[in-house]
Amino acid sequence: MTRMTLLAIAVLAFAGVMCGQVIAEDTPTDVKATGTLAKVKAKGVLVAGVRGTAPPFGTINPNTHLNEGYDIDFVHYFAKKLGVKVEFKTVTASSRIPMLMEEHVDILAAALTITPERAEKINFSYAYFLTGKKFLAQKGKFKTLKDFAGKKIGTAKGSAAERTLAAAVSGAEIVSYDDYPKAITALRQGKIHAVSTDEAILAGQLCPLEKSAATRGKFEIPEIRISTEVLGFGIRKGDEDFLKFINNALLEMEHNGEARKIFQRWFGPQSECPINRSKFMISDKNPLPED
C-alpha cells in the first residue's frame, strides 16, 4: 500500500469518527438544525465555492455565462433537497479553503482532494470521486516517471499536486500558476514540460487542445500515475448538522442512481472527457483500493 493511500485512509477514518455513522434519510427540518444548515434554510440560499476554470468539474459556460460541471450538478441536488436557491462563487485552488473558513461560502464543491493537512482545517464529506495525479505533456515524450526528473512541471497554486510532485518526482522544478489554463498556456509555449493534477481535470484541459487544429494530436496524458486520491466536499469545522445532511444526500444520490447519471453526463463515453468510473461507489466506507 502506498504512502498516499495510507494518508488518505487515515483522513477518511478520522472523518468517519468526526461525523459518525449516518443513514440515508433526510436531515430533520425542525428547529434543532444548527450552524450552516440552519442559516442556509433561513436565508433560502446555498452559497457554494466552485471552480471556474477546471472543466469538467467547474467552469463558466461562455454562451450562457452560467456555472456548469460535475461539481455544479451535485450542488444543485443539495439545494433542491434543501428547498433553497443556489449562489455560486468562483474560487481558486489557493483561495478555496480560506473562503470557506472565513464564511464567504457555505460549502466547497471545488475538485478538492482529501488530505490530512486540509482535514486539520476543515471537515470533508464522504468521497464522491476517485482520481489520481497524472501528467499532461507533449505526446510521446514521457514513458516513465524518471523521464520527468530535472523537468519543469506546472500545476495550480495551492493544489495538492504541489506537495505530491515534490515528493514523487526527484529533481523536478515545480512551477505554480493561478489556474490550470495558465499552466496549459505555458506548456503550449514550451515554458514548462508538463502539467500535473488530477486525471479528470487534465482530461478537461486536453479536450480543447484536441479540438484545436493547431494542437490536435500534439499532447497526451501518459499512463504514469503518481497517486490515488479521492475528492470530497468541504464543510467548516463544527458544522456537524450540515456535514450529516451532505453525507446523507451523497448516499441517497448513489442509491437512486443520480450520482452515476451525473458521472455519465460529464465523464461517460459520450462526453467530451471520457474516463472510467470503474467500481467506485459513494459510501461511508473507505473507497481507496489496496495497492
Q: Which CATH architecture has domain 3-130+229-267?
A: 3-Layer(aba) Sandwich (3.40)
Q: Quote the pLDDT of residue 138.
A: 96
Q: Do domains 3-130+229-267 and 133-220 have the same CATH topology?
A: yes
pLDDT, tens only, 46-74: 999 999 999 999 999 999 999 999 999 99
Q: Quote the pLDDT of residue 187.
A: 97
Q: Which residues of 26-62 are buried (b: 16+ CB within 10 A; e: fewer)?
A: ebeeeeebebbbebbbeeebbbbbbbbbbbbbbbbee
Angle of helix 180-188 relative to helix 199-211, nearest 10 degrees?
A: 50
pLDDT, tens only, 15-52: 443 443 343 344 444 445 679 999 999 999 999 999 99
**120 burial type by CB count under 10 A (0-12 exposed, 13-18 middle, 19+ buried):** exposed
Name the nearest CA neighbour of 111 among 87, 81, 131: 131
Q: Find the mean pLDDT for residues 134-163.
A: 93
The pTM for the full model equals 0.79
Pick the more confident residue, 180 or 8: 180
Domain extent listing, the chain: 3-130+229-267, 133-220
Q: Quote the pLDDT of residue 29.
A: 40
Q: What percent of the chain has pLDDT over 70?
A: 87
Q: Quote the pLDDT of residue 9.
A: 43
Q: Quote the pLDDT of residue 159.
A: 87
Task: For residue 275, name the pLDDT band (cuts at 50, 70, 90).
Answer: confident
Q: Quote the pLDDT of residue 33.
A: 63
pLDDT, tens only, 169-209: 989 999 999 999 999 999 999 999 999 999 989 999 998 99
Q: Quote the pLDDT of residue 107.
A: 98
3-state secondary structure of 122: strand
pLDDT, tens only, 240-264: 999 999 999 999 999 999 999 999 9
Pick the more confident residue, 85 or 273: 85
CATH T-level assignment (fold) for domain 133-220: D-Maltodextrin-Binding Protein; domain 2 (3.40.190)
The residue with cell 473558513 is 101
